């Protein structure tokens, strides 16, 4: 029974780490997209 609990604990930790990494990746992608949009607006203003 203890082995099952250890496996469940490990899986839950992996799930939390995966969710955290996913949120970080989404945050980075959102930042990159907003920066790209800002650069496009600056280029449009330069003309």
pLDDT in tens, 1-47: 689 999 999 999 999 999 999 999 999 999 999 999 999 999 999 88
Token pair, residue 25, equals 């990746």
- Tell me the three-class secondary structure of the chain, residue by residue: CHHHHHHHHHHHHHHHHHHHHHHHHHHHHHHHHHHHHHHHHHHHHHC
pLDDT on residue 46 = 87
Chain centroid offset of residue 29 CA: 8
**Separation between Cα atoms, residue 25 and residue 31, nearest integer Å:** 10
pLDDT on residue 19 = 97
3-class DSSP assignment, residue 1: coil
pTM over 0.85: no
């Amino acid at each position: 029974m203890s082995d099952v609990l250890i496996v469940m604990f490990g899986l839950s930790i992996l799930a939390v780490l995966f969710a955290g990494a996913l949120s970080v990746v989404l945050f980075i992608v959102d930042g990159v997209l907003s920066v790209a949009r800002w650069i496009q607006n600056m280029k449009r203003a330069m003309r």
